[in-house]
């Protein structure tokens, strides 16, 4: 597996999204259903427009735009930092420890003014009908690619970052789907109440419904 750090996966790459029909509903955005073709088109458009950086801080508050930003960074090989809170001291510490860091968000103004700020929704929505042909191009992601860094709450000290790799996340979501889908009768909608920047919410409320592994 060429140095892969994720045992149990017998391939060096996996698709960013599993195969599905182009009209499959992927999410709800601004009161309307979004198809897979539209979603992948927005992910690809944002990926093209991201700067050449190693890390970004994903501060999107809408789960849909958080997902678009997350997958766009995965496609570009950019690590998404997922701070456990929006506390100014926590964000400032991450910015200081990560030179060149860029903030991604979906609000009019960033809560981390010390960082360059990009509006995910504005950039992703630049993908118009003319990009429909490219919208179905789903990149292959190395399973040993670090795609996210989640942080502990810091209740017992300084918040600690934990790197998450694409193959490991895929395997974890697959294991969850194998237990949940038989009960629900197949892939289903997920109501998420946990923060999607915390590890449980990140996997259960974002990656599980997106990847629909085993559905």
Strand, coil or helix: 104: strand
What is d(CA 82, CA 151) in angstroms, rounded to the nearest whole number?
Answer: 7
More confident residue, 155 or 6: 155
Q: Is there a domain that residue 96 lies in?
A: yes
Q: What is the mean pLDDT of residues 191-197?
A: 80
Kindly state whether residue 137 falls inside one of the protein's structural domains.
Answer: yes
Task: Output the pLDDT for position 212.
Answer: 77
Q: What is the pLDDT of residue 127?
A: 57
Domain of 154 in residue numbering reads as 22-165
CATH code of 82's domain: 3.40.50.12780
More confident call, 76 vs 200: 76
- Specify if 201 maps to a domain: no
- Flag whether 71 is in a domain: yes
102-105 sheet: strands from edge to edge = 117-119, 102-105, 55-58, 79-82, 146-151, 161-165
Higher pLDDT, 143 or 180: 143
Average pLDDT over residues 125-149: 76
Q: pLDDT at position 10, please? A: 54
Report the number of distinct structural domains present in the chain: 1
Q: What is the pLDDT of residue 214?
A: 52
pTM: 0.88
Residue 59 lies in a domain: yes
Query: Is the residue at 111 inside a domain?
Result: yes
The answer to the question of residue 67 being in a domain is yes
Per-residue pLDDT tens digits for 90-120: 899 889 989 999 999 999 999 999 999 999 9
Q: What is the chain's Cα-based Rg?
A: 17
Residue 64 lies in a domain: yes
Q: Look at residues 95, 101, 79 and name the one whose alpha carbon lies nearest to residue 162.
A: 79
Rounded Cα–Cα distance for residues 83 and 152 (Å): 9
Distance CA 190, CA 84 (A): 22
Closest Cα to residue 43, out of 26, 57, 55? 26
């Amino acid at each position: 597996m060429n140095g892969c750090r994720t045992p149990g996966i017998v391939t060096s790459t996996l698709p960013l999204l599993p195969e599905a029909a182009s009209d499959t509903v992927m999410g709800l955005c601004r009161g309307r259903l979004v198809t897979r073709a539209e979603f992948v088109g927005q992910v690809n458009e944002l990926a093209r427009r991201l700067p050449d950086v190693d890390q970004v801080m994903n501060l999107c508050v809408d789960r849909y735009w958080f997902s678009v930003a997350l997958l766009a960074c995965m496609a570009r090989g950019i690590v998404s930092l997922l701070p456990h809170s929006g506390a100014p001291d926590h964000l400032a510490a991450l910015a200081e420890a990560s030179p060149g860091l860029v903030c991604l968000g979906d609000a009019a103004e960033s809560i981390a003014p010390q960082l360059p700020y990009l509006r995910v929704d504005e950039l992703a929505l630049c993908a118009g009908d003319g990009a429909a042909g490219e919208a179905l191009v789903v990149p292959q992601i190395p399973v040993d690619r670090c795609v996210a860094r989640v942080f502990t709450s810091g209740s017992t000290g300084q918040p600690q970052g934990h790197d998450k790799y694409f193959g490991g996340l895929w395997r974890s979501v697959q294991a969850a789907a194998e237990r949940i889908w038989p009960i629900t009768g197949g892939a289903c909608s997920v109501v998420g109440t946990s923060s999607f920047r915390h590890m449980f919410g990140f996997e259960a409320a974002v990656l599980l419904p997106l990847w629909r592994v085993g559905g």
